[in-house]
């Protein structure tokens, strides 16, 4: 049977994959090649490599032959995240769309953050979807984008960061869903269940920080934590309502944000009229970076994490550990709100970027004072030895101590403020990264989280110095496990010891390793991370014990490899002597002994056998 002309002219749609994750790229290629109408014709792990491949395929060929066709380019949103020298995904998208305007580009990632989705639109992407989407949704998305239909997630101004509750395909008015009572019931049940699980999880994690726990209790609590994580995962999957997006902010978040202005998320370019679209502000790279939307995004993300858990998972004592869970969340939210007010004041004051670094110390001190006054109450008093003492006035007298021990050591404050106010690039691993990119958002979130946690620690430090064992303070703020005078004394001693370890060992080590250690909010609690930063000037100023620590580290780095090599050689020699020399010697001796025993046994048996034969004769 001869094929028809249509079958002869048929060719599968040709795709190009760009992803530096070899495993995901290989899996996506194998999956796409299963479809008869799709064919992956090329792959690239770098943006430059992808551009060269497209240039070779789409350039006119000699002898008047038509160029090869490419129907779709699929690019990973995380492209270049682990390699600062590589072209980022949004820049690659811009390059492709500027060179080949009719070639659709589909971005695949793992985030649903509104500002990133808008940045993709501005970069020229034809569509965006989740790497974790189900197969049916993903293949439908690929076919829609390949047909030239712009397809982006339908996000509300405060869209949830939970990718499991947002559809990866476009939502049009004729596909709008109806809010049924059953869907509302499932959503409300899921939200209340997750809140209860998070509360139980935070309590277990807080108990695990108690150093006096027995091995059995610690193992039981660790198992309980694993069960709670599994239960939360199951609840979020089994009670998911993809057609009914969940609100980003919980009731506690909304209460914390009720008295602050929320910047509206700008409309997409597709929703703007032509005059309004012409007013969209773009960076030199064309990435849409509205400062209010960026600030609102970072604050909302941190508020979500604060409500999820504030347990200390760093293994080190923090000043805020003495607070009850609700008080701790209240303090963190208060710092965030005061920080937003500080940004608004700076914006209205028309301060210049160069002035931020000069005013850094005063800005942090103003933030600390504002949070202290609001958290404890401006006119709060406590009774001490028959006298009424004003709490805030006493705490503010510790400003110099707080500045030297905590506030002055917070890294990246000026860079963060300039980034949020003027969209200046952030240094990520020593490379400037434009505002609005995934790397810049992640770095800004880490810096802001560390600023919030350290400011909260600074608020609590003078309280522990002056009113640590005052009953009114304990009943109002402290965790129930730390109410006794003995526990408070132990807590303060542990805190004092941590200061000394940080000053003489941890800080010199971080300087020597060109790092800043940051306290960041995580879905499970507060964790410690590190970022690269050149600290050569600080290294040259070290002296005394701190300098000796760096020398010890350098000596260890110089000697350890050689010592390990020498130990390895000596160990190999000892093993050789034991096995080849002594072992063989022992083996020969044993063999001789066994042989002698055998000969003796035969000699003993021989006369007996001879006597028996003589008697028989």
The SS3 assignment for 577 reads helix
Tokens of 26: 């290989």
pLDDT digit string, tens, across residues 323-382: 999 899 999 999 999 999 999 899 888 888 889 999 999 999 999 999 999 999 888 899
Instruction: Evaluate the CA torsion angle 505, 314, 343, 362 in order and state its sign.
Output: negative
pLDDT at position 526: 92
Distance in angstroms (rounded) separating the CA atoms of residues 9 and 269: 38
> Residues 288, 280: contact at Cβ < 8 Å?
yes
Rounded to 5°, the CA angle 17-18-21 comes to 105
In eight-state DSSP terms, residue 379 is T
What is the average pLDDT score of the chain?
78
Average pLDDT of the residues in 520-524: 85
The answer to whether the beta carbons of residues 90 and 120 sit under 8 Å apart is yes
Band the pLDDT of 248: cuts 50, 70, 90: very low
CA dihedral 439, 445, 447, 448 (to 10 degrees): 160
pLDDT tens digits for 294-336? 777 788 888 888 888 889 999 899 999 999 998 999 999 999 9
**Which stretches within 437-576 are classed as H helix?**
438-466, 471-477, 485-501, 507-512, 536-540, 544-576
Q: The dihedral of CA 220, 221, 226, 230: what is its sign?
A: positive
- For the residues of 227-293, what is the DSSP string, one character each? HHHHHHHHHHHHT--TTSPPPSS-HHHHHHHTTS--PPPPPPTTTS-HHHHTT--B-TT--B--HHH
Q: Output the pLDDT for position 417.
A: 93
- Angle at 184 (CA atoms; ends 180, 190), nearest 5 degrees: 145
DSSP letter at 105?
Answer: E
Beta bridge partners of 16: 42, 73
According to CATH, the topology of domain 5-175 is: Rossmann fold (3.40.50)
Q: Which residue has the tokens 């108990």?
A: 207
What pLDDT, on a 0 to 100 scale, did the predictor assign at position 270? 35
How distant, in Å, are the alpha carbons of 151, 188, 237 from that of 121?
10, 33, 30
Average pLDDT over residues 564-582: 77
How much helix, strand and coil, in percent to the nearest 5, is found in the chain? 60, 10, 30
Least confident of 20-34, 382-396, 524-538: 20-34
Residue 581, pLDDT > 90, answer: no
Question: What are the tens digits of pLDDT across the range 100-121?
Answer: 888 899 999 887 777 778 778 8
Between CA 441 and CA 419 the distance in angstroms is 10
Alpha carbons 231 and 344: distance in angstroms, whole number: 41
- CA 349 vs CA 300, 346, 420, 497: distances in Å: 25, 5, 15, 42
Least trusted range by pLDDT, from 6-10, 54-58, 127-131, 278-282? 278-282
149-165 burial: b if 16+ Cβ within 10 Å, else e: eebbbbbeebbbbebbb
Residue span(s) of the chain under CATH 3.40.50.2300 come to: 5-175
Q: Say yes or no to pLDDT of 83 above 90.
A: no
| Residue 386: both structure tokens together | 């028959």
* Angle between helix 114-123 and helix 438-466 axes, rounded to 10 deg: 150
Q: Residue 448, SS3? A: helix
What stretch of H or E contains 321?
none
Beta bridge partners of 107: 75, 128
d(C-alpha 506, C-alpha 316), whole Å: 12
pLDDT tops 70 at residue 54: yes
The rounded percent of the chain whose pLDDT value lies above 70 is 79
The tally of CA atoms less than 13 A away on the side-chain side of residue 355 is 9
| Alpha carbons 225 and 222: distance in angstroms, whole number | 5
CA angle 420, 366, 372 (to 5 degrees): 115
**Given a cut of 50, is residue 281 above it in pLDDT?**
no
DSSP 514: T
pLDDT, mean of residues 132-136: 79
Averaged pLDDT for residues 499-527:
90
- Return the DSSP state at 166: S
């Amino acid at each position: 049977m001869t094929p028809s002309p249509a079958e002869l002219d048929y060719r599968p749609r040709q795709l190009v994959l760009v992803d530096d994750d070899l495993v995901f790229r290989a899996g996506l290629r194998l999956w796409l090649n299963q479809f008869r109408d799709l064919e992956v014709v090329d792959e690239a792990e770098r943006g430059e490599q992808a551009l060269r491949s497209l240039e070779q395929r789409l350039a006119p060929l000699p002898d008047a032959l038509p160029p090869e066709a490419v129907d779709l380019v699929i690019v990973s949103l995380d492209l270049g995240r682990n390699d600062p020298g590589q072209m980022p995904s949004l820049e690659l998208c811009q390059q492709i769309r500027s060179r080949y305007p009719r070639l659709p580009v589909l971005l695949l990632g793992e985030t649903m953050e509104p500002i990133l989705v808008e940045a993709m639109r501005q970069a020229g992407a034809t569509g965006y979807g989740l790497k974790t989407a189900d197969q049916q949704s993903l293949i439908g998305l690929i076919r829609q984008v390949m047909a030239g239909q712009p397809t982006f997630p339908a996000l509300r101004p405060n869209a949830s960061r939970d990718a499991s509750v947002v559809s990866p395909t476009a939502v049009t008015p004729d596909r709008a869903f109806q809010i049924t009572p059953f869907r509302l019931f499932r959503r409300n049940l899921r939200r209340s269940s997750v809140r209860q699980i998070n509360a139980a999880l935070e309590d277990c994690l807080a108990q695990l920080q108690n150093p006096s726990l027995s091995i059995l209790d610690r193992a039981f609590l660790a198992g309980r934590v694993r069960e709670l994580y599994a239960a939360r995962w199951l609840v979020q999957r089994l009670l998911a309502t993809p057609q009914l997006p969940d609100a980003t902010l919980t009731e506690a978040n909304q209460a914390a944000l009720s008295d602050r202005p929320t910047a509206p998320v700008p409309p997409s370019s597709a929703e703007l009229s032509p005059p309004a679209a012409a007013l969209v502000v773009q960076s030199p790279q064309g990435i849409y970076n509205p400062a209010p939307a960026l600030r609102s995004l970072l604050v909302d993300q941190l508020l979500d994490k604060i409500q999820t858990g504030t347990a200390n998972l760093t293994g080190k004592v923090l000043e805020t550990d003495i607070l009850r869970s609700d008080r701790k969340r209240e303090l963190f939210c208060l710092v965030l709100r005061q920080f937003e007010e500080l940004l608004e004041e700076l914006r209205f004051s028309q301060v210049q970027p160069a002035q931020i670094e000069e005013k850094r110390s005063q800005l942090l001190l103003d933030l600390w004072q504002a949070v202290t006054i609001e958290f404890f109450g401006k006119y709060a008093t406590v009774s001490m030895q028959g006298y009424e003492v004003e709490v805030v006035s006493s705490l503010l007298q510790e400003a110099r101590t707080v500045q030297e021990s905590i506030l002055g050591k917070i890294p990246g404050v000026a860079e963060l403020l300039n980034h949020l106010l003027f969209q200046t690039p952030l240094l990520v691993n020593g490379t400037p990264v434009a505002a609005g990119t995934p790397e810049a958002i992640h770095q800004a979130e880490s810096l802001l989280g560390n600023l919030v946690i350290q400011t909260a620690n600074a608020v609590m430090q003078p309280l522990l110095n002056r009113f640590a064992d005052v009953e009114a303070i304990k009943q109002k703020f402290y965790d129930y496990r730390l109410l006794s005078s003995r526990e408070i004394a132990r807590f303060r001693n542990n805190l004092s010891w941590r200061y000394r370890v940080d000053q003489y060992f941890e800080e010199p080590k971080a300087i020597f390793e060109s790092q800043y250690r940051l306290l960041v909010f995580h879905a499970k609690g507060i964790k410690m991370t590190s970022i690269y930063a050149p600290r050569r000037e600080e290294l040259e100023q070290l002296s005394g014990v701190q300098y000796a620590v760096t020398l010890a580290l350098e000596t260890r780095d110089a000697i350890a490899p050689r010592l390990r090599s020498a130990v390895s050689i000596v160990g190999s020699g000892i093993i050789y002597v034991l096995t080849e020399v002594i072992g063989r010697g022992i083996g020969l001796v044993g063999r001789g002994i066994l042989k002698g025993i055998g000969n003796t046994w035969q000699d003993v048996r021989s006369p007996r056998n001879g006597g028996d034969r003589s008697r028989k004769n």
